[in-house]
Amino acid sequence: MWDFSWLERRWPGAGYENWDEPLDGLLVRGYDAIRIDAYPHLLAADETREWTLKPVWDQQVWGSAAVNRVRVQPALNEFLAKCRERGIKVALSSWFREDADNTRMKITSAEAMAEIWLKTLRSVARDGLLDTLLWVDLCNEWPGDIWAPYFRNDPPELTWGGWHTEVSMKWIRESLARVRAEFPGVPLCYSFDGMDDSFYHTRDLKGAGFDLIEHHCWMAKENDGEFAKAAGYDYGRFSPQGYINLAERGERLYRERPAYWENLLTTRIGSLAAASRVAGLPLATTECWGVVDYKDWPLLNWDWVKHLCALGVETAAATGRWSVVATSNFCGPQFAGMWRDVAWHQRLTRIVKNSRLDADLRPGAEKV
């Protein structure tokens, strides 16, 4: 997951200033796909304009921690071309970054959502780059209020994990259908936050236009966020207190009861695999497996985080239901403590590539 970092983190030392270097680093580590923000709302408004972006946080190292400026095109197509040269597939998504004019608030309907993505895909197609795309996720973690403030659910308090409501499903069906009508060969979905998966058993995602389930999954969010709460991590975006608490308590908390925390993760993975069978769709997870937020910081060791991520990869790959498996949401050059362990990445990407999909998900399987 290179999110909006691929475009925003281009100042000296930020990791993406020379795309060739991190892309070559991906290949060395065994990866063959990434997921990025295409900034569709900004591209649709003016693809070559220089946009001023506000920081979504200053505590995380995804994107930039201060005001930044970007141009979506020709950067997007230049980046896609570099990926194609290397045989790297790209999933497009959007975190709907807030610019100085808050352009994202113009997305007032499913039709408007579809239109910005149609303009984005036409822009990619113009340079013959559609074959680079792995899928298009119309909104990251729909309908989380940080990423989709333009959408009002019913009831309105259902933001994170509230994709299953009638008004949300109507928006999803209509937007996916409109995009598919013009680009039938591009796999489509909305991605969801790592919360309750029971609605996969009662909502017809395939009928709604999904080609895959992109579900984000972390141990730290299980049992209503039991681990995060016990560690005192509150997902604060502009205060370091959560990281202060995580450094003091996080690793100790895990090591006091590793089997308990690991069981929460593997149980959820098994539950998602079962939901995938019911839905008749493959799973893709690009944000995962242990803690949600982490970074290179005093007293934040990577060993236990990497152990949980490895457990998640091994467990998910063995189910036969994951067509796309990430090793974590920290797999980028700005996370030095994880990126530099090349052998760790190579071991896990070998596991993923050597795993087998269930028969109904393999190429050539009958499509329903």
* pLDDT (tens digit per residue) in 206-245: 999 999 999 999 999 999 999 999 999 999 999 999 999 9
Tell me the residue type at 31: Y
User: Looking at residue 367, what is its pLDDT?
Assistant: 42
Number of H-type helices and E-type strands within the chain: 13, 12
Look at the block and give the residue holding tokens 């560690």: 231
Residue 298 binned pLDDT confidence (cut-offs 50, 70, 90): very high
Domain assignment present for residue 10? The answer is yes
Mean pLDDT on 316-323: 98
Taking the alpha carbons of 5, 7, 13, 15 in that order, is the dihedral positive or negative? positive
Residue 107 to residue 330: CA distance in whole angstroms: 30
Residue 16 to residue 62: CA distance in whole angstroms: 11
Residue 189 binned pLDDT confidence (cut-offs 50, 70, 90): very high
Q: Is the pLDDT of residue 195 over 80?
A: no
Domain assignment present for residue 365? The answer is no
Look at the block and give the residue holding tokens 């005093």: 298
Using alpha carbons, select from 80, 175, 88 the residue that is nearest to residue 137: 175
Domain assignment present for residue 364? The answer is no
Write b or e for each residue in 167-188: b if 16 or more Cβ atoms lie within 10 A of its Cβ, otherwise e: ebbebbbbbbebbbeebeebbb
Per residue in 59-104, pLDDT (tens digit) is 999 999 999 999 999 999 999 999 999 999 999 999 999 999 999 9
Domain assignment present for residue 362? The answer is no
Q: What CATH number does residue 56 fall under?
A: 3.20.20.80
The token pair that represents 47 in the structure block:
């693809």
What integer best gives the mean pLDDT of the chain? 97
Mean pLDDT on 333-353: 98
pTM for this model (two decimals):
0.96
User: Looking at residue 368, what is its pLDDT?
Assistant: 33
Residue 254 to residue 260: CA distance in whole angstroms: 9
Q: Is the pLDDT of residue 355 over 50?
A: yes
- HSE-up (13 A, CA, CB side) for residue 45: 19
Query: Got the DSSP string for 180-220?
Result: HHH-TTS-EE-EE-SS--GGGGTS-HHHHT-SSEEE-EEGG
Domain assignment present for residue 13? The answer is yes
Domain assignment present for residue 298? The answer is yes
Domain assignment present for residue 367? The answer is no
Residue range(s) defining the domain that contains residue 275: 5-357
- CB 293: neighbour CB atoms within 10 A? 21
* Lowest-confidence region among 76-85, 152-161, 190-199, 267-276: 190-199
Q: Is the pLDDT of residue 366 over 70?
A: no
Domain assignment present for residue 366? The answer is no
Total tally of structural domains belonging to the chain? 1
User: Looking at residue 363, what is its pLDDT?
Assistant: 78
